[in-house]
Amino acid sequence: MRKPYIAANWKMNLDADAIDEFCAELSEFLLDFDAVRVGVFPPSLYLPQVVRALAGTGAVVGAQSCRPEASGAFTGEIAARMVADVGAKATLIGHSERRQIFGETDADVVARRDAALAEGLDVILCVGETLEEREAGRTNEVVIGQLEAALADLTPDVVRERVTLAYEPVWAIGTGKTATPDQAQEVHASIRARLAEGLGGEVASATIIQYGGSVKPDNVSELMACPDVDGALVGGASLQLESFVALLRGGQPGA
Ligand code: PEP
């Protein structure tokens, strides 16, 4: 049985005061809510603040990206080692905004993944097709290609214990256009089938596959009712506590 996992990707939003308030209220909510695993991925400047504020709640706190190098001349960047050093436990890797705005390639994804895993961080590996690719009938080819690259050379044990996958169709991120449950399920099922083929049935049935792309309180339950959708990676609707809590409630089994 896979425990649902819903993660907030705050991108470059919120400030110290808003984050204090959000974390205090989320901590209180999590005192008696354990049906969903919770993740919070703030801008890296605020990682230590969020790590402290959510300590003991069971929430996973992680970075939105990281450099693979341990240190060096990379102005403006943060190393996987630094993310671990401030007590964060995870990082997103390969988010479409990183791929599209910052030019990250599949090779960059692998380098970041390896550094993050070596530093003891768990990873959420993001894959997803653009609208043009979907319209050209290339969704499966693109998503499975990114998946194969992102998982290359990982052992079944590492994938089962340290890796979460996020299917995020680029055309649905921040656009208000959500994939229908059928569209999401179709891609999630093909990701899980590829996992089974490459890494075995046990890994395939244990691995969490989140859906991301305009998930909101009013569509989270129908998406997560799909048999292969195990969670959500949420941008816009994770920025207000009330909306995030509604997502967590809506994402619990049987909601
Ligand atoms: C995301 O940033 O991963 C995301 C899915 O954003 P949104 O929920 O705003 O579409």
Of ligand 1's atoms, which has the minimum distance to the CA of residue 214? 10
Ligand 1 atom 7, closest CA: 235
CA 81 from chain centre, in angstroms, equals 19
Q: Which two tokens stand for residue 127?
A: 């894959």
**Domain residue spans of the chain:** 5-251
- What letter represents residue 94's amino acid? G
Q: Which two tokens stand for residue 208?
A: 């969490």
Of ligand 1's atoms, which has the minimum distance to the CA of residue 238? 8
Ligand 1 atom 6, closest CA: 235
| Cα–Cα dist 253/32, whole Å | 16
Task: Please report the pLDDT score of residue 254 as a whole number.
Answer: 87
Of ligand 1's atoms, which has the minimum distance to the CA of residue 212? 5
CA dihedral (187, 193, 194, 195) positive or negative = positive
Q: Give residues (CB < 6 A) around ligand 1.
A: 9, 11, 168, 173-174, 212-215, 233-237
| Helix, strand and coil percent figures for the chain, each rounded to 5 | 45, 15, 40
- What's the chain's average pLDDT? 97
**Fold category of 5-251 in CATH:** TIM Barrel (3.20.20)
| Cα–Cα dist 177/169, whole Å | 10
Give the residues of the chain that fall short of pLDDT 50.
Answer: none
Other C-beta atoms lying within 10 Å of the C-beta of residue 113: 28
Burial readout 81-94 (b: 16 or more C-beta within 10 A, e: otherwise): bbbbebebbbbbbb
Ligand 1 pocket mutation, candidates 173, 238, 240, criterion most atoms within 8 A of CB: 173
Q: How far does residue 55's CA lie from ligand 1's centre (Å)?
A: 25
| Helices (H) then strands (E): counts for the chain | 12, 8
End-to-end CA distance of the chain: 16
Q: List the catalytic residues.
A: 95, 168
Task: Please report the pLDDT score of residue 255 as a whole number.
Answer: 87
Q: How far does residue 230's CA lie from ligand 1's centre (Å)?
A: 16
Of ligand 1's atoms, which has the minimum distance to the CA of residue 236? 9
Q: Per residue, what are the HEC states of 196-249?
A: HHHHCHHHHHHCCEEECCCCCCCCHHHHHCCCCCCEEEECHHHCCHHHHHHHHH
Task: Please report the pLDDT score of residue 96 as a whole number.
Answer: 96
Q: Give 73: exposed, middle or buried? Use CB within 10 Å, 0-12, 13-18, 19+.
A: exposed
Other C-beta atoms lying within 10 Å of the C-beta of residue 64: 22
Let me know: does 241 contact 220? Beta carbons within 8 Å. Answer: no
106-119 pLDDT, tens digit per residue, is 999 999 999 999 99
Ligand 1 atom 4, closest CA: 235
Ligand 1 atom 8, closest CA: 235
